[in-house]
Structure 1
Amino acid sequence: MKRKIKIMLVEDNPEYRDVIDFAIEHEEEMELINQFGLAERALQSFQSMETRTEPDIILLDLNLPGISGLEALPHLIKAAPNSSIIILTQSDQEADVLRAIAEGARGYLLKSATVQQIKDGIRTVAQGGSTLDSKVARFMMDTLKNKLPNLNAENLLSDRELETLLLMGEGLARKEIAQKLKISVYTVDTHIRHIYDKFNVPNSAAAVHCAHRLGLFHRDN
Structure 2
Amino acid sequence: MKTRVSIVDDDEPTRKILIEVIGCVPTLQYVSDYGSSAVALRQLLADRPDVVLMDINMPEPNGVECVRVLKRQMPGTQFLMLTVYQSAEHVFAALAAGATGYLLKETRREELVAAIEQIALGGSPMTSAIARKVVQSFAQPGSARPTFEDLTPRERQVLECLSQGYLYKEIADTMGIGVPTVATHIRKIYEKLHVRSRSQAIAKYLGHPATGG
Pair in the same fold by TM > 0.5 = yes
| Counterparts in 2 of 1:23 and 1:215: CA distance versus 1, 3 Å | farther
Q: Which residue identity does 2:29 align to in structure 1?
A: E
What corresponds to 2:128 in structure 1?
Answer: 134
User: In the alignment, which residue of structure 2 is the partner of 1:117?
Assistant: 111
Change over 3 Å in CA distance of 1:97–1:122 after alignment to 2: same
Unaligned runs of at least 5 residues, structure 1: 181-187
1:84-131: CA deviation from partner (whole Å, max 9, x where unpaired) = 010000100110111212222110000011111111100111111110
Q: What is the count of residue pairs matched by the alignment?
A: 199
Aligned amino acid, residue 30 of structure 2: L
The counterpart of 1:164, out of the listed 155, 159, 180, is: 155
Amino acid at match of 1:118: L
- Pair 130,215 (structure 1): closer, same or farther in 2 beyond 3 Å: farther
**Corresponding residue number in structure 1 for 2:142:** 149
Find the counterpart in structure 2 of residue 30 from structure 1. Answer: 28
**Match among 21, 41, 58 for residue 39 of structure 2:** 41
Alignment of 1:170-189 (within 5 A): 171-172=167-168, 175-177=180-182, 189=187
Which residue of structure 1 aligns with residue 62 of structure 2? 68
Q: 1:189 to 1:113 in 2, by over 3 A?
A: closer
User: Does the C-alpha gap of structure 1 residues 178 and 58 become closer, same or farther in structure 2, counting only changes over 3 Å?
Assistant: closer
For residue 52 of structure 2, the aligned residue among 48, 53, 58 is 58
1:5 is aligned to 2:3: yes
Task: State the shift of 1:135 in Å.
Answer: 1.7
Contact 1:10 1:60 in 2 (8 A): yes
The one-letter amino acid of 2:155's match is T
Matched residue, 2:88: 94
Cα distance, 1:213 vs structure 2 = 4.4
Gaps of 5+ in 2: 169-177
The 2-side partners of 1:123 and 1:80 are apart by 19
Q: What do you get for the CA RMSD once the two structures are aligned?
A: 2.6
AA aligned to 1:8 is S
Quote the offset at 1:15 in angstroms. Answer: 0.6
8 Å CA contact retained: 2:11, 2:35:
yes
- How much identity, in percent, do the aligned residues show? 21
Contact 2:139/2:203 (<8 A) preserved: no
TM (norm. structure 1) is 0.79
1:210 paired with 2:200, answer no
Structure 1: distance between partners of 2:137 and 2:108: 26
Matches of 2:206 and 2:100 in 1, distance apart?
Answer: 19
